[in-house]
Amino acid sequence: MVVYDLICKKNHRFEGWFPSFEGFQEQSAKKLISCPACGTTKVEKMPHACAVLTNRGDKEEKKAPAKAEKAPTISLTEAEAKELLIRASHYVRENFEDVGPRFAEEARAIFHGESEKRSIHGTSTPQEREQLDDEGIPYVILPKPDLDS
């Protein structure tokens, strides 16, 4: 199962569960996905916000509602949660620049506009994360690759 954040043309956000990405595409093509708030089938997948300091283009800005809505709470089994984390983790490793142990430093530089805006991943110490928290710099902790086994 995969869960996607979906958004309808009227900016209602909701979550949809699908057997796979292909399952989502199929249901989407057949207009089987409808918004629970207004019933429209004009629904699309939101870009996944699983990572830190993503480079927000204008396109993404326009799609997002002016006020961020609180995401609904979902309950996952341990296996489902693990699968989601692993998927997120794979995505990040494939698409984000690896800055290794310089993560905290780079995240701060990007946050303050001193470094090129881009998506990064790397490692950090608990102390560094505490500092990032203090400074209000957003980041996400993902599981290590060895969780796959």
Residues that bind Zn ion (CB under 5 A): 8, 10, 12, 35, 37-38
Minimum distance from residue 72 beta carbon to Zn ion (Å): 14
What lies within 8 Å, CB to CB, of 130 at 6+ separation is none
Cβ proximity to Zn ion: between 68 and 141 the closer is 68
Minimum distance from residue 69 beta carbon to Zn ion (Å): 12
Cβ proximity to Zn ion: between 11 and 115 the closer is 11
Cβ proximity to Zn ion: between 41 and 131 the closer is 41
How many residues comprise the chain? 149
Pairing of strands 2-8, 13-18: antiparallel
Minimum distance from residue 76 beta carbon to Zn ion (Å): 24
Cβ proximity to Zn ion: between 7 and 99 the closer is 7
Amino acid in position 143: P
